[in-house]
Structure 1
Amino acid sequence: MTAAGPYPTFEAFYRAEHGRMFHFFRRKVGRDEAPDLVQEAFTCVLRSGAFDRLENPNGYLTRTARNLVINRARTWHRKGCVLYPLDEARDAPLAPEQEWKIEGRELRAAYRRALLSLPRRTRRIFLMHRLKGLSYRQIEVELGVGDKCVQYHIMRALSRCRRAVARLQ
């Protein structure tokens, strides 16, 4: 191919104008569609066979690009489709917060039932440890029981809570 305007070859023309065309199409149709339309625009210019005779290849390429956008819009309008480019910041999937709240309520209800089904002494020791934050030693002193007794009741309560959670799943 001979020189067209300021470009010695089509390859030089492509390299010089590729970035500009990409930005043009990105503004018009979005980042995802832009690369394909850039290729299509350059292909149209090359297939026209007029590149080596053009005095202003930039203008020809720009007109070709605008025509591609117009044709694309007509096609979408004819099909009745609307294309919205994905915006990762705006269209990100939402966490299933409502589902988590429901699961949390169900879990709390299961724990409550499990604790209420415990013998009174076991429940008292478990709640003293978990809710009041008392150590085993402090519970021993307050209730006048041994270390093994506190461990037994805590283990029994934890086992009942684990079974309640396993039934939910």
Structure 2
Amino acid sequence: MMPPRPIPRFEAVYRNEQRRLLRYFMHKAGPDSAPDLVQEAFTRLFRSNALERIDNPSAYLTRIAQNLLIERGRRLARERTVFFPFDEGRDAPVCADQEFHIEAMELRRAYVQALRAMTPKTRRIFLMHRMRNLTHREIGERLGITQKAVQYHMTSALARYRRVIALQN
């Protein structure tokens, strides 16, 4: 004898559950989407071939309905995402102000640290050259030292800066 065909059982489940499922979807998804969701839920139930193996088709159908609503919500969220094309002419990249200020503070701190580590004479020569824009000859004349000595102190000061900055990176 052949096993009973699943269609009569499916029809019975459809008759018993269709209205309940329609109300459920109308409440959860609205009247426009409810009929399509009911049809999809029963299509999934029929395609699963699980009707013969399950004891409670109503609960199984409810789980299918819940999964459909979850999938629908995810799909709607993806569709709602708006992507704007990047136009390099209009949307020019800008530096992050906060990052720029943090880097400037760190550089200033390194500058002060390097200045403090210099001998007083080297510091004075360096500041005369960098802050007052004096030439090596002018600094030499004011301090009574040779241009070679001014160059030596400047080289020493710049080397110290390089070391301090290298430690920062």
Instruction: Name the TM-score, length of structure 2 as normaliser.
Output: 0.50
Cα gap change, 1:133 to 1:80, in 2 (>3 Å): same
Separation (CA, whole Å) in 2 of partners of 1:163 and 1:126: 16
Counterpart of 1:159 in structure 2 is 159
Cα gap change, 1:94 to 1:129, in 2 (>3 Å): closer
Separation (CA, whole Å) in 1 of partners of 2:125 and 2:75: 73
Counterpart of 1:124 in structure 2 is 124
Backbone CA RMSD of aligned residues: 2.3
Indicate the SS of the match to 2:84.
coil
**2:83 corresponds to which of 85, 89, 102:** 85
* Structure 1 gaps, min length 5: 1-74
Counterpart of 1:144 in structure 2 is 144
* Structure 2 gaps, min length 5: 1-71
Cα gap change, 1:141 to 1:93, in 2 (>3 Å): closer
Counterpart of 2:108 in structure 1 is 108
Counterpart of 1:95 in structure 2 is 95
Separation (CA, whole Å) in 1 of partners of 2:126 and 2:91: 46
Runs of 4+ in 1 over 4 A off after TM superposition: 75-78, 89-94
Once the two structures are TM-superposed, the CA of residue 117 in structure 1 deviates from its matched residue by 1.1
Cα gap change, 1:117 to 1:77, in 2 (>3 Å): closer
Separation (CA, whole Å) in 2 of partners of 1:92 and 1:125: 42
Indicate the SS of the match to 1:149.
helix
Once the two structures are TM-superposed, the CA of residue 88 in structure 1 deviates from its matched residue by 2.4
- Of structures 1 and 2, the larger Rg is shown by 2
Counterpart of 1:26 in structure 2 is none
Deviations 1:56-83 (A, max 9, x none): xxxxxxxxxxxxxxxxxxx788533312
Cα gap change, 1:141 to 1:78, in 2 (>3 Å): closer
Indicate the SS of the match to 2:167.
helix
Letter in 2 for 1:83: T
Cα gap change, 1:83 to 1:128, in 2 (>3 Å): same
